[in-house]
Structure 1
């Protein structure tokens, strides 16, 4: 090769290097960061014990029958080709009902939900567009193409249906799903230039990260570079959550103002979806500034707006950390899903602990025992449940946002609440890059997975009544010995855990970490994880204190008087009033020395038929308290008494010290959980 040719080739490659060095984001966009943990196919984890019963209640209640009892989904449904609901509520319902069907392996429910999936898959337009028949198609015979994308309809409900299809695919491996998604995403990439993500509604612009997330998931399968280009384009057209979560001004303003300006940016459900945005963007770019921004944003969110049960205020907007603020049920289940995604991408135990707290405290209390009625807004210090204005940023003129009803408040939560328990069960275990398994959330379940270099199938049965007991047993079933690493989360609330193998002490580990046990596992091996729980008090808004014991937060046990009523537009609903006094402060000595001062008693076993309610509360904790006579209901809520810097209430307190009983927050409907401290 002559010198001139060598020089020419050198200049050619140098020019390429210089071009791409100036476009590092382009280089990064051609790959994707491998997650720390991989999601397992839907159905790999099966619920057992009380978790199984919880899902069975959902199947027998609204999750399994919403299409029969709720007219908006029942009547001429748009996702079955009709003129009825063609927006978010049907996909919302399926986003929980599809995983429920496959977690329970229920043929009746599978057939029911698969009707909507089948119609969706078989009615994709030649251009790649999908969804209910649009007004232009129905009335004018229009054809939706890239050039006529304006004849389509809102991007948002399609984002939810894409989440449904992803779950369906991991459960069934239906070969139609991948080309269906590829065809749509190709259409979307071309159409967004003319029909941007927020063309029809701000909901799409505020929730675009769910769209980008599925595009990136599809890229992990097909390696089509255009999918990462699409994800970046969607992000550029959506709300600037990555910037807002990082720069702190957004969350501070949300705490200070409840006006009409930019309210969508502090809408609690939008925020619940958005907290995963930095993790999704990091996955595409590899830039760790997004993980730093996520840490900052989540910390600020929970500091300024966090409530004792592990969720932020969202009534409907972010509304500060006062214990009398409300939280929308949709915000809880969307935040749970975001945390499940964040956990897989980051492997950060902080988010695992946050998911545990949210699930076992905030989630159970907001639905009735039969899963047929829900609260639109729950309140931490909820001394009554009734019609009223309360202290919500969205009081709703029919005053129905706090009651338990099927259609009370807005019905988005009636459709969307089903993903909470189902996705939690599906994300209790993850796969690891070294062909192992990670148990990151605990509860009774069984997992079947292929592990180790030989990809041998192993069954692990997790037996426990966690979060009510300290011991978790893992029983292994395998046809032959298999070597693989098993990771276990040691929660941050646990000071020191003990791990036993076949009854023999293996090791002890400090809390706040994920440990790895690399072992050759044999059939009938039994691994036991002991997580000692200890009572402690945490500090919350208005200088209040909440009692925690292990993963659970404890609230005042009050009798309940339920009253059924009916409202013209929203149907039957329940008020719940307390039986017994609630205006107690906890004695300062108890708060200072909880281990020595509280009495913890297991009052009944947790059976496989356990329900989160007053009757079944398995643990009671008694503490010393005194009544605060002037603590009364004002405008339907119980504003916390003012305390001095030391946290001690200085107003009138009764001299008599009483023993009050606390039970798990999730078992209550009326309660005090954030207590003033009294002398």
Structure 2
């Protein structure tokens, strides 16, 4: 690697007498042939004018006209000044040969990020930042001044460089580029709004984000300060090609272990469908990926969906049997990787759709993070595949956009961005510059394909384009609820490549729009299969729920905004378990906010899901939810604790009980335990053991930002509770010192009444939605084929567990409530919560609310109609018991409201609401 001492080589301390090549510290620039001339020198400090190669303009090489580099024995500086528009000064202290401590100051009226930021380059980063610069004969007469005492340089304005500042072409063997016009920039970026200035501005050397918030100090060349005004940006050909960092990184898979009820749920998943379909189901055991021929779709996605979840499930539970399953798939897939790099069982061009590869690569990334022994071969396989994908995308976007004769459909182009989920990880794993270029270009081509294929999600998530009503029959796949849930990662992933801060707001607005127009009470998006609006009779697909959880987890790690984590918890603690039987041996396809029965419907309101979508079973409706439902909880749970790369900051992101054993290079691991029944209880006890100091953060949900308390040093009985003071990101910081630490946070949860459509309301407390459970009986039968509805072949080993289940109500459900009369109840729990915790009657919490039967809540088809805005009360008011939503398979969670006489809330009629 380069040593920083190169900056003090004798060549750099004198004016070159003839053309020669030296290395200059130029962080953020592509490797390329650059030219320079010596502007002046004082002692051992030399100042260079740096310019593009001959015949190349600034838009291609990324070097701003008027850029100067100053090299000293223990310092390096880059300076740029363009009148009063932008001034940039980067100064690095290089006293330590392996570390560069840098300070960057940006000013000017057009600077996108004015101010001062700091950062550090270390080790391998430094090696990539030395670039060869050809020094030509003669000193440049640039008008720059060199002060002997400081060796500082003031460069001339870029706009003047053409006439007074830049060396001539014959002297520099380069081309002055300041006279180039903005037309090329406009051609490269079709939506680019040209700045209203008289002289051209090209590339400014500015930080993509403040250096203090980055993993390393990276510099990005942005095309003028007006890039922040772009409404969409599809070309990611930025000069520095660095990815915007996550606020928090994932810890190694397996270092975080869920405890309590979440561990119980994961074990149920492992002993239920999630861990067993590998053993008996034709779409996994007989998949083309395992040498069979059973697939429910030409996308060949069944086993990839399964592999995507079995890896995190296996390593979270440290389950050897599940690890064997995952390793079997990985070994077979890598062994059978095609000579050209293709991954999968497809053998013809027309079968090679990219989509299922996205799932396989997600599984591989987690596999590499969990098992270091697999890392090298996984990275190599991903590189080989990426090189092939690159060539396919260059050939009219093969594999993404369907062409005549292709066997795959438009799901590939609709989900094209999913490839970057893993390629962005791969990009940061490799050091070979050619590999990085191919990876970056492949991702960029995928973005371009979405535009060419009319699947640009950044245009979809706008007030003008986003559908505010249920999708009409014949809609394109861009309105498919699973696609929309996945597409909430599109803009954030684009942001990571472009560093366009406007996209941070756009990502937030996308989530807000989706929830505003299609959000359910239980945290998911309504879609059956396509976006379905906010009517409580419309269903939320289980696949959409788990994809939404993953997207929201990703968004929180990237941006650190607690609203994403709050919504992820809402969907995970309510919508996801509502879609499963308590033992995790059967799932539904759709969940309704108001679901008075779960049976085969004769007159159903869904877009195209069919009458059996509410039934629980093995293959109810399309099999995608069978092979994908188990993704939700493992991927959520592995995000419990997250950290900064240097482990100076660790955060409890999702607040359920968990423990983390975090390896520390050259030191003992950090051990963190959280004890809680959250979200069934709001107190969380932390015990931490560490040999180093760090900042520990607890995410404070938006519903608990006032009135929450903390008690520190629990072994000291004299310590008093204090009020939690969260920062602007809703994080509460505790400074951890070496040794043992303990503290307890109690979140302030209150009953919340949230308006819904048509004057209805939903009732929440903390992260739980509360619903009226409708008494019912279960009707079971043999599992049926998803398309033919005929009984599936009996598997003797699993026949007792596998069944289809219908829930038939045994009581009325048409009630209105008076939310001003509501009372929370908690049953004291010693030790663990009941298991399964979402069994009917198992949760230790409930809310009683005043209610009354009503006479004007009709059916719409075979479902509950819209709650009446003016309910007609019949009979006397009484107390209704509301329970956590997921424990009530038949439920009402959107209630019409009415003002009632006072009710004794301690006297609940029946076990829940028996109002025959």
Other-structure match for 1:375: 588
Other-structure match for 1:553: 769
User: Is 1:247 aligned to residue 478 of structure 2?
Assistant: no
1:10 CA displacement: 5.5
Other-structure match for 1:143: none
8 Å contact from structure 2 (residues 354, 399) kept in 1: no
8 Å contact from structure 2 (residues 556, 565) kept in 1: yes
Other-structure match for 2:873: 653
Describe how 1:461-472 pairs up with structure 2 within 5 A: 461-472=673-684
Describe how 1:280-299 pairs up with structure 2 within 5 A: 280-299=493-512
Query: Compared with structure 1, are the counterparts of its residues 352 and 245 closer, same or farther at alpha carbon in structure 2 (3 Å cutoff)?
Result: farther
Other-structure match for 2:168: 7
1:340 CA displacement: 1.4
User: Is 1:258 aligned to residue 472 of structure 2?
Assistant: yes
1:542 CA displacement: 2.4
Distance 2:576 2:523 in 1: 10
1:82 CA displacement: 3.6
Distance 1:381 1:315 in 2: 15
User: Is 1:496 aligned to residue 707 of structure 2?
Assistant: yes
Query: Compared with structure 1, are the counterparts of its residues 189 and 17 closer, same or farther at alpha carbon in structure 2 (3 Å cutoff)?
Result: farther
1:124 CA displacement: 1.5
8 Å contact from structure 2 (residues 758, 866) kept in 1: yes
1:354 CA displacement: 0.9
8 Å contact from structure 1 (residues 29, 228) kept in 2: no
Query: Compared with structure 1, are the counterparts of its residues 433 and 13 closer, same or farther at alpha carbon in structure 2 (3 Å cutoff)?
Result: farther
Query: Compared with structure 1, are the counterparts of its residues 151 and 640 closer, same or farther at alpha carbon in structure 2 (3 Å cutoff)?
Result: closer
Distance 2:872 2:678 in 1: 40
Distance 1:671 1:49 in 2: 26
8 Å contact from structure 2 (residues 526, 534) kept in 1: yes
Other-structure match for 1:390: 604
Other-structure match for 2:67: none
1:256 CA displacement: 5.1
Q: What SS is found at the alignment partner of 2:429? A: helix
1:245 CA displacement: 4.3
> Can you list the C-alpha shifts for 1:41-85, whole angstroms capped at 9, x where unaligned?
21111111111111111111111110223122222x321234344
Q: TM-score, normalised by structure 2?
A: 0.67
Q: What SS is found at the alignment partner of 2:605? A: coil
RMSD of Structure 2 on Structure 1 (CA): 2.3
> Can you list the C-alpha shifts for 1:597-627, whole angstroms capped at 9, x where unaligned?
3221113635263431213121121110111
User: Is 1:153 aligned to residue 367 of structure 2?
Assistant: no
1:220 CA displacement: 1.4
8 Å contact from structure 1 (residues 43, 102) kept in 2: yes
Distance 2:595 2:251 in 1: 38
Query: Compared with structure 1, are the counterparts of its residues 506 and 178 closer, same or farther at alpha carbon in structure 2 (3 Å cutoff)?
Result: farther
User: Is 1:532 aligned to residue 748 of structure 2?
Assistant: yes
Distance 2:175 2:710 in 1: 56
Other-structure match for 2:366: 167
Other-structure match for 1:78: 288
Distance 2:173 2:503 in 1: 36
Query: Compared with structure 1, are the counterparts of its residues 663 and 28 closer, same or farther at alpha carbon in structure 2 (3 Å cutoff)?
Result: farther
1:659 CA displacement: 0.6
Determine which of 603, 628, 641 is the counterpart of 1:416.
628
1:108 CA displacement: 1.3
User: Is 1:45 aligned to residue 260 of structure 2?
Assistant: no
1:217 CA displacement: 1.2
8 Å contact from structure 1 (residues 404, 573) kept in 2: yes
Q: What SS is found at the alignment partner of 1:290? A: helix
Distance 1:104 1:607 in 2: 19
Query: Compared with structure 1, are the counterparts of its residues 376 and 512 closer, same or farther at alpha carbon in structure 2 (3 Å cutoff)?
Result: farther
Distance 2:316 2:708 in 1: 30
Distance 1:90 1:510 in 2: 43
Describe how 1:431-470 pairs up with structure 2 within 5 A: 431-435=643-647, 436-450=649-663, 456-470=668-682
Other-structure match for 1:198: 401
Describe how 1:324-403 pairs up with structure 2 within 5 A: 324-388=537-601, 389-396=603-610, 399-403=611-615
Determine which of 415, 437, 456 is the counterpart of 1:225.
437
Number of aligned residue pairs: 644
Distance 2:774 2:654 in 1: 30
Query: Compared with structure 1, are the counterparts of its residues 631 and 506 closer, same or farther at alpha carbon in structure 2 (3 Å cutoff)?
Result: closer
Other-structure match for 1:140: none
Distance 1:286 1:455 in 2: 35
Distance 2:728 2:590 in 1: 32
Distance 2:589 2:512 in 1: 25
Query: Compared with structure 1, are the counterparts of its residues 328 and 491 closer, same or farther at alpha carbon in structure 2 (3 Å cutoff)?
Result: same
Distance 1:106 1:536 in 2: 40
Other-structure match for 2:423: 215
8 Å contact from structure 2 (residues 834, 842) kept in 1: no
Determine which of 808, 833, 838 is the counterpart of 1:577.
808
Distance 1:518 1:510 in 2: 11
User: Is 1:623 aligned to residue 849 of structure 2?
Assistant: yes
Structure 1 portions without partners, runs of 5+: 137-149, 644-648
> Can you list the C-alpha shifts for 1:169-188, whole angstroms capped at 9, x where unaligned?
10012210111111110110
8 Å contact from structure 1 (residues 28, 286) kept in 2: no
1:516 CA displacement: 4.8
Other-structure match for 2:379: 178
1:286 CA displacement: 0.1
Q: Which range moves more in the overlay, 219-228 or 370-379? A: 219-228
Query: Compared with structure 1, are the counterparts of its residues 356 and 4 closer, same or farther at alpha carbon in structure 2 (3 Å cutoff)?
Result: closer
Query: Compared with structure 1, are the counterparts of its residues 323 and 630 closer, same or farther at alpha carbon in structure 2 (3 Å cutoff)?
Result: same
Distance 2:483 2:173 in 1: 50
8 Å contact from structure 1 (residues 80, 115) kept in 2: no
1:133 CA displacement: 4.6
Structure ranking higher on relative contact order (CA contacts 8 Å, 6+ apart): 1
Distance 1:518 1:601 in 2: 31
Query: Compared with structure 1, are the counterparts of its residues 523 and 609 closer, same or farther at alpha carbon in structure 2 (3 Å cutoff)?
Result: farther
8 Å contact from structure 1 (residues 444, 462) kept in 2: yes
1:520 CA displacement: 3.5
> Can you list the C-alpha shifts for 1:298-357, whole angstroms capped at 9, x where unaligned?
111111111111111011111111111101000000111111111111111111111111
Query: Compared with structure 1, are the counterparts of its residues 666 and 109 closer, same or farther at alpha carbon in structure 2 (3 Å cutoff)?
Result: same
Q: What SS is found at the alignment partner of 2:472? A: coil
Query: Compared with structure 1, are the counterparts of its residues 4 and 471 closer, same or farther at alpha carbon in structure 2 (3 Å cutoff)?
Result: closer
1:433 CA displacement: 4.5
Other-structure match for 1:641: 867
Distance 1:560 1:42 in 2: 41
Distance 1:512 1:564 in 2: 51
8 Å contact from structure 2 (residues 471, 531) kept in 1: no
Q: Which range moves more in the overlay, 417-426 or 20-29? A: 20-29
Q: What SS is found at the alignment partner of 2:598? A: coil
> Can you list the C-alpha shifts for 1:80-124, whole angstroms capped at 9, x where unaligned?
234344711111111111111111111111112210111111221
- Name segments (4+ residues, structure 1) moved above 6 Å: 16-20
8 Å contact from structure 1 (residues 491, 512) kept in 2: no
8 Å contact from structure 1 (residues 492, 511) kept in 2: no
8 Å contact from structure 1 (residues 212, 235) kept in 2: no
Distance 1:406 1:126 in 2: 37
Determine which of 229, 232, 238 is the counterpart of 1:27.
238
Determine which of 47, 57, 61 is the counterpart of 2:268.
57
User: Is 1:310 aligned to residue 523 of structure 2?
Assistant: yes
User: Is 1:187 aligned to residue 388 of structure 2?
Assistant: yes
Query: Compared with structure 1, are the counterparts of its residues 256 and 392 closer, same or farther at alpha carbon in structure 2 (3 Å cutoff)?
Result: closer
Max Rg structure: 2
Q: TM-score, normalised by structure 1?
A: 0.90
Distance 1:151 1:315 in 2: 30
Q: What SS is found at the alignment partner of 1:509? A: coil
Determine which of 341, 346, 352 is the counterpart of 1:128.
341
Other-structure match for 1:141: none
Distance 1:251 1:313 in 2: 15
